[in-house]
Amino acid sequence: MERKLASTVVIDDLQPIEGADLIEVATVKGWKLVVKKNEYQVGDHAIYCEIDSFLPEKEEFEFLRKTSFRKMAGIPGFRLKTIRLRGQISQGLLLPVSVLSGYAYTLGEDVSAMLGIVKYEPPVPASLAGVARGNFPSFIPKTDEERVQNLSKVYEKYRQHTFYVTEKLDGSSATYYYRDGVFGVCSRNYDLEETPDNSFWKVARELDLPAKLAALGKNIALQGELIGEGVQKNPYCILAQTVRFFNVFDIDTSTYLSLETFKEIIQQLELQHVPILDEAFTLPETVDQLLLTAEGASVLSPAGKHVEREGLVIRSTDRRISFKAISNKFLLNEN
Ligand code: ATP
Ligand code: MN
Ligand code: MN
C-alpha cells in the first residue's frame, strides 16, 4: 500500500499551547501538529502532509528552507520530520486547499502527485542495494505496516480485539523464500542476485537458510528485519549482520502462519524472531496513550546502554489487523 503523503483532511481539533501566544496545536486524525494561531478553524479543510514528505523546491514551500532543506539523490527539496516546538510534538504540515488552485478534490484524496510531493528515502548503502535478479516476487506480500495515527477512525473498534505486540526493529526488510526448488533472497523491493558482498545474502549463507528452507519441504517465505553493521545506524551495536524474523508465509495457500506455528518453525530452524513483548494486549483508550506505550528501551539495547526502540508492531491474534506505533522519542532523534 502506497502512503498518502499529502491528502485533503478536516481539522478535527485546535488547542492552545501553554505559554505560546502565536501558535496552537491542531489535531488531524491521530496526528498533532503546531500551526499559526487563527490560521485554521475546527472543521476547515486543509491539505495534510505527513512526516517523510519530500516537497519540491517551489516558491510556495520556501518558508520551509531554514528548517527542512535537504537533497535526495542530488535533488533539492524540503523534508518533513518530527519536531518539538515549545514542548509540543509537531508532525507534518498543513497547507491551505488554495494551493490546489481550485481543483475539485474529495476529502481524503491523495494529492501528493499534484503537488510534486514524494517520500523522502535516505540513501541505500551498496552492501544493501545489491544487484536485482528481478522484482519482488508476486507470490509473496511485501512487508509494510500502517501508522496508528491514520487509523483513528477504526481505533475504537480495534479496542475489542486482542493483539500480540512485537518490538519494531530499526533495520532493513528481508525476505527469504523457497519455491519449487528455487531459493531466493529479497530486499524490500527486489529479488537479489547472489553476490559475495550483499548483506542479505551473507546472512542467508551464515544462517544456512537455503538448506533450512529446503528441508521444510514446502513452498515457504520467511520475512524479517536485517540488523547490524551498515544497516541504518546499527543502534543495537551488533557485530556483522543478522536477521530477526516476524513472518512465516505459506506460499501455496497464500497465508501467514499463526503466531504459534510461526514460533514453532523459527525455533525448529534455530533462527530468531523479533522480540515478542506481549501476547494478550488490548489497546489503551486513545491513540495518544498508545504512542506513549510505544516509547521505551529496545530489548536489543547493549548492556548498560538505553537504546530507544523504534516502536511497536501490533497484530490481532487472527492476524487480520496489523499496524505500527512508532516512538515519538525515536523520531525526535532521527536526522
Ligand atoms: P512508511 O510506510 O511508514 O513510510 P516503511 O514502509 O518504509 O515506512 P517501516 O516504517 O520500516 O517501513 O515499517 C514497516 C517495516 O517494519 C516492515 O517492512 C519491516 O521491515 C519492519 N519491521 C521491523 N520490525 C518489525 C516487526 N517486529 N514486525 C513487523 N515488521 C517489522
Ligand atoms: Mn510503508
Ligand atoms: Mn524500517
Residues with a beta carbon under 5 angstroms from ion ligand 2: 144
Pull the grid cell for residue 60.
510556495
Mutate to test the pocket of ligand 1, among 2, 52, 54, 144 (most ligand atoms within 8 A of CB): 144
Ligand in closest contact with the CA of 324? 1
Residue closest to 225 by CA, chosen among 252, 250, 199, 205 = 199
Neighbours of 86 (CB within 10 A): 13
Protein residue with least CA distance to atom 5, ligand 1: 144
3-state secondary structure of 211: helix
Distance 9 CA to ligand 2 centre (A): 20
Residue closest to 93 by CA, chosen among 81, 101, 105 = 81
Q: What is the ipTM of this complex?
A: 0.97
Q: Which residues contact 327 (CB under 8 A, 6 or more apart)?
A: 291, 294, 295, 296, 308, 309, 310, 311
The domain covering 126-332 belongs, at the CATH homologous superfamily level, to DNA ligase/mRNA capping enzyme (3.30.470.30)
- Residues with a CB atom less than 6 Å from ligand 1: 3, 52, 143-145, 147, 166-169, 173, 225, 246, 274, 313, 324
How open is the CA angle 148-46-330, to the nearest 5 degrees? 35
Distances (CA, A) of 213 to 143, 186, 324, 335: 19, 15, 28, 38
Residue closest to 332 by CA, chosen among 87, 28, 73 = 87
Distance 169 CA to ligand 1 centre (A): 8
Answer for the pair 327, 308: CB distance below 8 angstroms, yes or no. Answer: yes
The per-residue pLDDT string of the chain (335 residues; one tens digit each, 9 = 90 and over) reads: 689 999 999 999 999 999 999 999 999 999 999 999 999 999 999 999 999 999 999 999 999 999 999 999 999 999 999 999 999 999 999 999 999 999 999 999 999 999 999 999 999 999 999 999 999 999 999 999 999 999 999 999 999 999 999 999 999 999 999 999 999 999 999 999 999 999 999 999 999 999 999 999 999 999 999 999 999 999 999 999 999 999 999 999 999 999 999 999 999 999 999 999 999 999 999 999 999 999 999 999 999 999 999 999 999 988 899 999 999 999 999 87
Ligand in closest contact with the CA of 143? 1
Ligand in closest contact with the CA of 173? 1
Distance, in Å, from the CA atom of 62 to the CA atom of 201, rounded to the nearest integer, reads 43
Amino acid at 296: G
Distance 119 CA to ligand 2 centre (A): 10
Each domain of the chain, given as residue ranges in start order, spans 6-119, 126-332
Protein residue with least CA distance to atom 20, ligand 1: 173
Q: Please give the number of the atom of ligand 1 that sits closest to the Cα of 167.
A: 27
Mutate to test the pocket of ligand 1, among 140, 146, 164, 168 (most ligand atoms within 8 A of CB): 168
